[in-house]
Amino acid sequence: MFCYQCGKQNQDDVVFCGFCGTKIGTQETAQGQQSNNRLCIELHSMPTATLFLANIAMFKVKNTGIVVEMDGVWGEKTFLYLNPKEKLGDYNKLFAALQEITKNMVMQFHSEGNPVVPIYRMKKTYANDWWKRLEIDIEGAGNIWFQYPDKNALHADYNILMSLMRNDR
């Protein structure tokens, strides 16, 4: 059974989510199962694809596609687009859906590709002024570097991230 709060998978017979503590058993099980429709999203990529939101460790825009790091998939998976408006639409739809299921505990970085990561997936964060990048250990994706055009953008994202992570704990 998937938790409708954080999206993590639990055993079918549990009453509370083992990750975030939300009550998912008994009478709320029906609500959680209805919410599974919200946990899947269809992309207008070529070919079309359906993603389970709880499996997304992070995603970003890269060239003519959206690159997604997912649980159970080695490396990144790229969904390609012929129409830039459809790519932007799917990016925004993915971001809004993750915001909804995480109760706005998702970070959209201002680095290259505008990566989006759910806060509960982030384990460690390091800022490097010299190289103008953040290194984040993301559950399901490993250590990822986010490159920034300048130190101000790097520090702005780092400060927002630290604030969000303090509120999440």
- Looking at residue 53, which CATH number applies to its domain? 2.40.50.1020
Predicted pLDDT of residue 4: 59
Q: Into how many domains does the chain fold?
A: 1
Predicted pLDDT of residue 9: 72
CA 127 to chain centre: 20
Give tens-digit pLDDT for 37-57. Answer: 468 899 999 989 989 898 999
Give tens-digit pLDDT for 62-73. Answer: 999 999 999 888
Give a yes or no: residue 101 inside a domain: yes
Give a yes or no: residue 5 inside a domain: no
- Give the domain range for residue 116: 41-168
Residue 28 pLDDT class (50, 70, 90 cuts): very low
Give tens-digit pLDDT for 139-153. Answer: 999 999 999 999 999
Give a yes or no: residue 127 inside a domain: yes
Tokens describing residue 117: 């990561």
pTM: 0.75
Give a yes or no: residue 74 inside a domain: yes
Give a yes or no: residue 125 inside a domain: yes
Locate all alpha helices (DSSP H) within 44-150, ordered by sequence.
Answer: 84-101
Contacts (Cβ under 8 Å, ≥6 apart) of 91: 59, 61, 66, 114
Give a yes or no: residue 33 inside a domain: no
Give a yes or no: residue 160 inside a domain: yes
Residue whose tokens read 């989006």:
116
| pLDDT for 82 beyond 60 | yes
Give a yes or no: residue 49 inside a domain: yes
